[in-house]
Amino acid sequence: MHVVIAGGGFAGLSAALYARLYGFDATIIEELAPGGRCLDTRHARFVPGLPVDAPASEVAERLETQVRDMGVVFMSDRVTHVHSDPGEPDTRVRIVCEQETLHADACIVAVGDARRTAGIPGEEALRGRGVSYCATCDGPLFRGRDVCVIGGGDSACDEALFLSDICQTVHVLCRSRDLTAMPALREEVQSRQNIRLHFNTEVRSFSGVENSMGFQTMESVHIRSGSEEHTIAAAAAFVFVGRQGISAGIADTCESDTDGRLITDARMRTSIERIYAIGSARSNPVPQFVVGAADGAIAVRDLYDRYTADA
Ligand SMILES: Cc1cc2nc3c(=O)[nH]c(=O)nc-3n(C[C@H](O)[C@H](O)[C@H](O)COP(=O)(O)OP(=O)(O)OC[C@H]3O[C@@H](n4cnc5c(N)ncnc54)[C@H](O)[C@@H]3O)c2cc1C
């Protein structure tokens, strides 16, 4: 039994580990670097048995080493299409990549998801010049400065905490009446002296100013709270307004939700035979590392139960 895993994030790596434990040949196809979101997240929080401040990149590194040591094959490529045709005699799933096409007995789609942009005037023009979608990557450039975080969910709160350690003031701008993150994150954000929370607040636009090199850099964020408009001086704005699925575009014959994620049953089967989806690639109400890892184990166990008898 040969399983191809599209995407080498926490979920994909975990699935590969279990695939080897069950005696399958396993290939991971990863377009960037194994680790996925772990590589641009500071801490892998809420992973049972790990300290809350476990560096996520170290967790990813350890998992990748474990998976490589188990004999999983890694391919560097971008999966563009996954298709299963039960009529094909020998190989039942076709995995089309940018550089080559693979055939396998099953494919586990673990491509994660993608950030949403907010569509705020000035966002596109100032992207990379103050507008960022990753505080862990770009936050250190704004050490000691005042910055804004747009959003109030888990990612926004997590990244606001990171920024509050290195920036002077972090303004968290939320459309809602309260933070929507899980309680542990909410309480930590509320306890930080240099985080200022702005609720019922709509971001109207981002403004830049030309620096000495002739480039636009961010200068301020314009907001509306109720009927009042204000301007906050900020060197950067970190946008965390949610994420959207990308897996539906890759396995387009499988059923998907309105968010672009594949729909699975409790055993991680999609609507198409031999195609599974796990982690943030599937319609999943708890997108956390531990759930992605569990999804991988469940998918592999189902493959073992269903297909090894006639393999
Ligand atoms: C800012 C932030 C902080 C978070 N903090 C935590 C936390 O502390 N604790 C926690 O439990 N969860 C946290 N999460 C959630 C966690 O990141 C996700 O649950 C987890 O990353 C999902 O793993 P995944 O493997 O499904 O997807 P990902 O980690 O997104 O991995 C998907 C992989 O697939 C690759 N890929 C994508 N498309 C293709 C393609 N077409 N071909 C080949 N490869 C492809 C990507 O490069 C990536 O490596 C956080 C999320 C964010 C955004």
Q: Which residues of 298-308 are buried (b: 16+ CB within 10 A; e: fewer)?
A: bbbebbbeebe
The alpha-helical segments, DSSP class H, found in 212-254 are: 247-250
pLDDT for the residue numbered 211? 84
Query: Residue 182: what pLDDT?
Result: 93
**pLDDT of 52:** 81
pLDDT at 90: 58
3 state SS of 7: coil
Instruction: Kindly give the number of the ligand 1 atom that is closest to the alpha carbon of 34.
Output: 49
Q: Which atom of ligand 1 is nearest to the CA of 246?
A: 38
Cβ-proximal residues to 50 (8 Å cutoff; 6+ apart), any chain: 44, 59
CA of 10 relative to ligand 1 center, distance in Å: 7
Q: pTM of this prediction?
A: 0.89
Q: What is the pLDDT of residue 110?
A: 98
Structure tokens at 204: 């109207």
Taken in order 225, 124, 136, 239, the sign of the CA dihedral is positive
131-157 mean pLDDT? 94
174 Cα: distance to centroid of ligand 1 (angstroms)? 24
* Rounded Cα–Cα distance for residues 154 and 180 (Å): 7
Instruction: Decide: 59 and 38 in contact? Cβ < 8 Å.
Output: yes
Measured from the Cα of 279, ligand 1's closest atom is 26
Domain ranges of the chain: 2-115+243-307, 131-239
The model's pLDDT over 20-60, given as tens digits with 9 standing for 90+, comes to: 999 999 999 999 999 999 888 888 888 899 988 889 999 99
Tell the residue nearest (CA) to atom 13 of ligand 1.
288
- Among 37, 109, 159, 243, say which to mutate for ligand 1: greatest number of ligand atoms within 8 Å of CB: 37
Atom of ligand 1 nearest to the CA of 10: 25
C-alpha to C-alpha distance for 112 and 250, rounded to whole angstroms: 11
What is the predicted pLDDT for the residue at 86?
A: 66
> Which residue did the predictor score with more confidence, 247 or 311?
247
CATH 3.40.980.10 assigned to domain 2-115+243-307? The reply is no
Query: Cα separations (Å) of 138 from 115, 142, 199, 281?
Result: 16, 8, 25, 26
Fold designation for 131-239: FAD/NAD(P)-binding domain (3.50.50)
- C-beta 153 within 6 A of ligand 1: no
Q: CB atoms < 10 A from the CB of 92, how many?
A: 19
Q: How many CA atoms lie within 13 A of 244 on its CB side?
A: 9
Q: Whose alpha carbon is nearest atom 49 of ligand 1?
A: 36
- State the Cα–Cα distance between residues 34 and 39, nearest whole angstrom: 8
Question: Percentage of the chain surpassing pLDDT 70?
Answer: 97
Fold match between domain 2-115+243-307 and domain 131-239? yes
62-110 residue pLDDT tens: 999 999 999 999 999 999 999 987 665 556 899 999 999 999 999 999 9
